[in-house]
Amino acid sequence: MLIFSPITIRSVNPQPLPYLSFSHSISLPLPLTSLPTPSKSPHFPSFHINCIDAAQPFDYESHLKNRYIQSTSLKIAIIGFGNFGQFLSKTFLRHHTVLAHSRTNYADLANHLGVSFYADPHDLFEQHPDVVLLSTSILSTETLLQKLPFQRLRRNTLFVDVLSVKEFPRNLFLKYLPPDFDILCTHPMFGPESGKTSWAGLPFVYDKVRIGDEESRIKRCDNFLDIFEKEGCRMVEMSCMEHDKYAAGSQFVTHTMGRVLEKFGLESSPINTKGYETLLNLVENTKGDSFDLYYGLFMYNQNALEQLERLDMAFESIKKDLFGRLHQVYRKQLFGDNNGEVEKKRSLAQQLLGNGSLTEPPLDNVRQDGS
């Protein structure tokens, strides 16, 4: 759109001009006959052109970037917006839309983070999220799945869990979810404390239990896993059974030792060593987790009981080693130094054969030989 605005100027030079000059470096030739003569018009008209709808250069690179972001962006619904759910949402929000539902009303906190909170799961599922992520306690998972309104979701919705045990939620998903739903079992092996500064190098375990063959469903699963891969996580794909076997020997033992040391009353001192600082950090990391989580690690991992028994046996073995040496010290204090008596008995034992006879000849024989 061009807007012409006349400006009245006083003619200084009465010579006729062959051109009219326009702003924005535009010059248009006009016939000289159309120009008024200075003698007849003391005020010579001039025009400025303002371009309102001028075309801008097309930013093709930015356009492609926006299209890529839209194609990889997911709508993720988090069920269980507690400490861990909030922790994950802060990273999800960088490139994805996040919705949430929880028994506790976190509406104000969610709004502050930029998350849409729904008190009713029916309202949440009517938003048709691409991914439904369960971030609930292990103990409440089955009860929750029995109450969710799956009929309000799209038929091929991807369900993901982030529980610390894997075979248990896998079996629940296969039991309660409609057969068209995709299933991805995951375990981010870090939390708000260990991953508060960075996720780089931290292990993320996953098992693609059931992913449809359609390209869109495969891409959706990959886009979700890319969230953790782009944050620098060490991606580990393994079966749920393998995970629980390894987790019982690492995560459950770690939580057990942390809680034992917490009960012990481990405290910092002015002369902390590096090893002692490690133990203090262990207590700090584990005491932030609820006892329900620890109980779930024990109850719903069939390998946990074996590890607990092995810990108990190892502790008893160490006690026996300590008390065994202490017993020897007490004997010396009570009965004195019996080294001389012990040497006599050892010498006599060396003189005896297996049948109890002496290795040296009798004294009578010695006298006869010397006579």
Looking at residue 333, its pLDDT comes to: 79
Q: Report the C-alpha gap between 211 and 224 in whole angstroms.
A: 13
Q: Give mean pLDDT, residues 97-111.
A: 97
Are 58 and 64 in contact, with CB atoms under 8 Å apart? no
Residue pLDDT, tens place only, 349-368: 555 544 445 445 555 554 44
Looking at residue 117, its pLDDT comes to: 98
Task: Grade residue 76 by pLDDT with cuts at 50, 70 and 90.
Answer: very high
In angstroms, how far is CA 1 from the centroid of its own chain? 54
Q: Kindly list the distances between the CA atom of residue 1 and the CA atoms of 7, 51, 56, 276, in Å, as whole numbers in the listed order.
A: 19, 6, 14, 75
Residue pLDDT, tens place only, 56-74: 666 666 655 555 555 679 9
Tell me the angle at which helices 304-335 and 291-299 cross, rounded to the nearest 10 degrees.
Answer: 100
CB environment 157-180: b (16+ within 10 A), e (fewer) = bbbbbbbbbbbbbbebbeebbeee
Looking at residue 128, its pLDDT comes to: 98
Residue pLDDT, tens place only, 179-210: 999 999 999 999 998 899 999 999 999 999 99
User: Tokens representing 172?
Assistant: 């629940």
Q: Give mean pLDDT, residues 8-32.
A: 49
Looking at residue 71, its pLDDT comes to: 62
Looking at residue 288, its pLDDT comes to: 81
Looking at residue 24, its pLDDT comes to: 47
Looking at residue 48, its pLDDT comes to: 57
Q: Give mean pLDDT, residues 130-135.
A: 98
Mean pLDDT of the chain: 83
Looking at residue 206, its pLDDT comes to: 98
Looking at residue 324, its pLDDT comes to: 86
Looking at residue 158, its pLDDT comes to: 98
Residue pLDDT, tens place only, 204-252: 999 999 999 999 999 999 999 999 999 999 999 999 999 999 999 889 9
Looking at residue 349, its pLDDT comes to: 56
Task: Grade residue 276 by pLDDT with cuts at 50, 70 and 90.
Answer: very high
Domain ranges of the chain: 73-239, 251-330
Q: Kindly list the distances between the CA atom of residue 366 and the CA atoms of 299, 362, 371, in Å, as whole numbers in the listed order.
A: 79, 7, 9
Q: Give mean pLDDT, residues 35-43.
A: 53
What lies within 8 Å, CB to CB, of 211 at 6+ separation is 158, 182, 183, 184, 217, 218, 221
Q: Where is mean pLDDT largest: 63-77, 147-161, 280-294, 336-350?
A: 147-161
Residue pLDDT, tens place only, 136-170: 999 999 999 999 999 999 999 999 999 999 999 99
Above 90 in pLDDT, residue 3? Answer: no
Above 50 in pLDDT, residue 20? Answer: no
3-state per-residue secondary structure call for the chain: CEEEEEEEEECCCCCCCCEEEECCCEEEECCHHHCCCCCCCCEEEEEEEEECCCCCCCCHHHHHHHHHHHHHCCEEEEECCCHHHHHHHHHHCCCCEEEEECCCCCHHHHHHHCCEECCCHHHHHCCCCCEEEECCCCCCHHHHHHHCCHHHCCCCCEEEECCCCCHHHHHHHHHHCCCCCEEEEEEECCCCCCCCCCCCCCEEEEEEEECCCCHHHHHHHHHHHHHHHHCCCEEEECCHHHHHHHHHHHHHHHHHHHHHHHHHCCCCCCCCCHHHHHHHHHHHHHHCCCHHHHHHHHHCCCCHHHHHHHHHHHHHHHHHHHHHHHHHHHHHHHHCCCHHHHHHHHHHHHHECCCCCECCCCHHHHHHHHC
Q: Please name the fold of domain 73-239.
A: Rossmann fold (3.40.50)
Looking at residue 325, its pLDDT comes to: 87
Chain length of the chain: 371
Better-predicted residue by pLDDT, 334 or 32:
334
Q: Report the C-alpha gap between 212 and 154 in whole angstroms.
A: 14
Looking at residue 331, its pLDDT comes to: 73
Percent of the chain with pLDDT over 70: 71
Are 134 and 162 in contact, with CB atoms under 8 Å apart? yes
Q: Report the C-alpha gap between 304 and 353 in whole angstroms.
A: 54
Are 122 and 150 in contact, with CB atoms under 8 Å apart? no
Better-predicted residue by pLDDT, 268 or 337:
268
Q: Report the C-alpha gap between 313 and 23 in whole angstroms.
A: 92
